[in-house]
Structure 1
């Protein structure tokens, strides 16, 4: 018998799936339950799987904490055992055992013409034949297609199944007929209609009581595999701290760190006090032994960073990252500490001798290219939207654990990257596109940098470099991610830069395919800017802003994979980059 569960990496549950998402399995599609269900199922607490990142928790998550998705190996279960609870969804199915036999059914009895199966076989068959259509609304609700209302309206006929006629090229060729009263409806017309939303969020169970919880937003019929059916809302933070990874994980545990903060305020903090509090906080004995081996000077430096003033907004986190990246480009990282233990790698590593300055192809700018041989990225999924990435309501993926603590699902990733900034000269301001974006930025939400021309310039350059780096690095363009930095003061650019990185779960990170290209970055930059002024979709691409598009960009010239672009391919303009080539 083939397996009925689907193997998913913990990082996929954060970046792609998560509570409320539909996952295709060998036994049919299922919808993933809320996060608290998994910990109830395995009988563990989320603090056992905590990812420590004080900056992200304080600046973006309102002091909530982050936990990773447990893997089978961590809890001692075989790899073929399912540990994430899910419900079969959608319930309705389309039976097509042979040509001319197409029955839409939704009862536990299964297809009326295929009732020779036992109950277990009927459930398996229904999962394999699950209909590919569901309803969703922008408020985040998801439910079955109201097939009875679709065919009969408010009238009830009593039938449990329908006949599906036609199909193939278009939904307008599909007719759904009631076998009892012979009423039929064109499915193409029904697909384009708006329907009453039931207010259901299947990750929390069956649909709510209709007496007062129905949603006021209209629902539409969509395909269950549609990319816009569930769009994850992610927040990320780059860890740039001068301490080994293990020391960060041990000292950063929230309950332990709060005890040390009290001792620091009372001026009672020393090495012996740290060890005593570690034992009192029930820190693992091997971690206590590790703290005993670490020199007090290094523990003190780590505590100064962990207990220091944390950024209180996402913008402050970005500014702190940009400042530290530029400092590392000048001085390297981490800061050398006497007698540093060698049994734990650093969280952030830059070798100053490998930093290069490269004159751009036009000679107008000098780019500083900084290879980052090790970095740590924490990513948390705060929620999701349905149908519209702009106006859709964000449904939170948070859950409450023991002691009333709020948790978000997240993942800890390690890898490498390349930081690029301008060494001396400011960004040039030329051409017709720069003032156009400047006016758009001034007329919009000033809290968002997406439409600032400096951000558009770096963002557009980023996407060209993503493609060029993938040619020689060994990573696909979908595996390389971006992080664009622009810091303003009085609407003037103070500092800016771009981080291109690739990460993966686990402590070993990646294999150096990106940083090895720094020595020949001139060729990478030349390839990235080659033919940037043209596109295979021209003149349509070049004239797109005239018809309402944000900028001159399309899938043939600038758009990147959803796993790479942190702004869903918004705020891009090929002509702005062409008019201001480095």
Structure 2
């Protein structure tokens, strides 16, 4: 038996590493490269051929050859996304006996198929009904353990209940899940242990402290929990290791016993390394890391490193790492760059020089691939991708039938005269065809990724301590990232509106907007960086204005264009202050459809991008933003509001959006940048 889920759900909702509940059982989704051919094979003549998306720009950024699309049932192929049962501990609702499932138990045959094939729940053999011969269906346990570094496993019931008698651990005693029923508290739930065979009572422990992380750091005769498991924890989305256990990996750099506590609290290292108890359906079990990039015609950008060169470089690196890991395993990108340049310079017959490029061009490709400044490579890559998209929208593009991309430029003055804002818009680009690629990079657990720029980072980059700790939390979407040169992705075809703003106009307005307001947000951002061990860059005034106006336009467009607000999204193109006056300066807003079905290309958004419509939308949206139902409290906020005080005059009554529509999770917003404050209306650009 199988269940149908949409392609987009395999990327956004139930990607590899996520848990999915079906009637009678709970699964964890496996990586797409868990089994050869799960998502198709490369033979184009085979009905089970792999569906791939080739885009050299994004492929180079992620250092892959292409992107693979989740399988779609078409009546011909037999491809599927696969999952396995998790958690492995399941209890009988009648007698409470906890069963620990195995791989072979799922392969047992029942009614012309196995338990796994029919996606059937296991039953309790101890409670078999005399008439039906079948016991009650087992229920997956509610609790699991997870770490900030991505490990996920069954709660260690055997280890937990035998704390008072450690020698009884691992003896396969019978464990029972019992509820007194007196209240809904965890203290009324106990785990009881009985010796197998004699049924002698051994130990009992209630779950009152199960959510206290310190239970895993406390020591007994066998040390703490990580000592007990020899510092190995499971990663079940990588499959079974043997019949009884999932794949496990080493937890590196576990703090010594003397470094576990920091006063009365656990140390940051202990919180990061040791597991904690979580509910199976908790929202922070997984935070998918999904990058949205625009698919562009190849004529719109200059390749930093052609695909054939990139593939050659990465295969060379893999060969050296596999053959001599003691030497090359820990090489940084800077070392690889210099090493490969020396190889090319010293060997005129090197395979890289047989690809049709000059030696100087190949060396340039190597520098681009590994980074001229490796410590900034991943940050520069994110900026470069947005610059390429900005240039494609505003520059000349040769038509390419292989890419869903069609645009029409409209002079900004046609809008400025209708909005009463002279010189505000340089041009508006109506994107009648626009394709966004949603790339599933991987995921984090417990808390979301705190540094979006780390999407393009890799272990060989020169990361500082904070960045390294955050990067180590990212779990790759692939089981074998070193040899699997593809990432899961879905293509979303739709439409969009791109607004290019006058650099001169925005820079002149920025001189009028008070530094104190921006300083408040950036001060709160610095505090958030310290609190959450993140490294977000400070924002500038132009971003604050563009982001706030984007939200205003999104809310108004959703009312007029026929799309729901959750079907629209934004990308803000805003360069840093160091780029002001250069060719790299960007000031733009892209609003586009994000739904993956037919709704995304109905044409309603582009129609509203015409001068008469869009000017009206902008005027109405700005007028509505002048008053919030939470005013005067909202407009008067001077110390910051919202998450960590990262907004000023912005709340859910005025400009906040569904978080799926906002690129910054509803942060860095201030209505005053658009319409001013009660005391000083001139600081709003639309009041100047």
Whether the 8 Å contact between 2:410 and 2:430 is mirrored in structure 1 is no
Q: Give deviations 1:237-282, integer Å, cap 9, x for gaps.
A: 21232789xxxxxxx9969x999x979759xxxxxxxxxxxxxxxx
| 1:36 CA drift (Å) | 0.9
Instruction: Establish whether residue 525 from structure 1 lines up as the match of residue 618 from structure 2.
Output: yes
| 1:442 CA drift (Å) | 9.5
Residue in structure 1 matched with residue 85 of structure 2 by the alignment:
88
Residue in structure 1 matched with residue 555 of structure 2 by the alignment:
467
Instruction: Establish whether residue 116 from structure 1 lines up as the match of residue 129 from structure 2.
Output: yes
Q: Secondary structure at the match of 2:590?
A: strand
| 1:37 CA drift (Å) | 2.4
CA distance in 1, matches of 2:152, 2:66: 27
Q: CA distance change for structure 1 residues 161 and 361 in 2, over 3 Å: closer, same or farther?
A: farther
Whether the 8 Å contact between 2:64 and 2:486 is mirrored in structure 1 is no
Q: CA distance change for structure 1 residues 574 and 6 in 2, over 3 Å: closer, same or farther?
A: farther
| 1:369 CA drift (Å) | 3.5
**TM-score of the superposition, structure 2-length normalised?**
0.62
**TM-score of the superposition, structure 1-length normalised?**
0.73
| 1:422 CA drift (Å) | 1.5
Residue in structure 1 matched with residue 144 of structure 2 by the alignment:
134
CA distance in 2, matches of 1:33, 1:509: 29
Residue in structure 2 matched with residue 426 of structure 1 by the alignment:
506
CA distance in 1, matches of 2:618, 2:182: 49
Whether the 8 Å contact between 2:91 and 2:97 is mirrored in structure 1 is yes
Instruction: Establish whether residue 417 from structure 1 lines up as the match of residue 496 from structure 2.
Output: yes
| 1:19 CA drift (Å) | 1.4
CA distance in 1, matches of 2:417, 2:124: 69
Residue in structure 1 matched with residue 640 of structure 2 by the alignment:
545
Residue in structure 2 matched with residue 486 of structure 1 by the alignment:
574
Q: CA distance change for structure 1 residues 119 and 233 in 2, over 3 Å: closer, same or farther?
A: farther
Residue in structure 2 matched with residue 352 of structure 1 by the alignment:
409
RMSD: 4.5
Instruction: Establish whether residue 476 from structure 1 lines up as the match of residue 489 from structure 2.
Output: no
| 1:40 CA drift (Å) | 3.5
CA distance in 1, matches of 2:130, 2:603: 55
Whether the 8 Å contact between 1:173 and 1:188 is mirrored in structure 2 is yes
Where structure 2 has 5 or more consecutive residues not aligned to the other structure, the ranges are: 44-48, 102-121, 195-200, 217-224, 227-231, 255-272, 301-305, 313-350, 359-367, 372-379, 451-469, 677-683
Q: CA distance change for structure 1 residues 543 and 486 in 2, over 3 Å: closer, same or farther?
A: closer
Where structure 1 has 5 or more consecutive residues not aligned to the other structure, the ranges are: 245-251, 267-308, 328-332
CA distance in 2, matches of 1:119, 1:254: 63
Tell me which of 584, 587, 590 is aligned to 1:499. Answer: 590
Instruction: Establish whether residue 513 from structure 1 lines up as the match of residue 572 from structure 2.
Output: no
Whether the 8 Å contact between 1:373 and 1:417 is mirrored in structure 2 is yes
Tell me which of 42, 45, 53 is aligned to 2:55. Answer: 53
| 1:458 CA drift (Å) | 1.9
Q: CA distance change for structure 1 residues 38 and 510 in 2, over 3 Å: closer, same or farther?
A: farther
Whether the 8 Å contact between 1:417 and 1:500 is mirrored in structure 2 is yes
Whether the 8 Å contact between 2:540 and 2:577 is mirrored in structure 1 is no
Q: Secondary structure at the match of 1:371?
A: strand
Q: Secondary structure at the match of 2:237?
A: helix
Number of aligned positions between the proteins: 507
CA distance in 2, matches of 1:212, 1:118: 48
| 1:72 CA drift (Å) | 2.3
| 1:148 CA drift (Å) | 3.0
Tell me which of 322, 327, 340 is aligned to 2:390. Answer: 322
| 1:22 CA drift (Å) | 0.8
Whether the 8 Å contact between 2:123 and 2:134 is mirrored in structure 1 is no
Q: CA distance change for structure 1 residues 464 and 507 in 2, over 3 Å: closer, same or farther?
A: closer
Q: CA distance change for structure 1 residues 192 and 364 in 2, over 3 Å: closer, same or farther?
A: farther
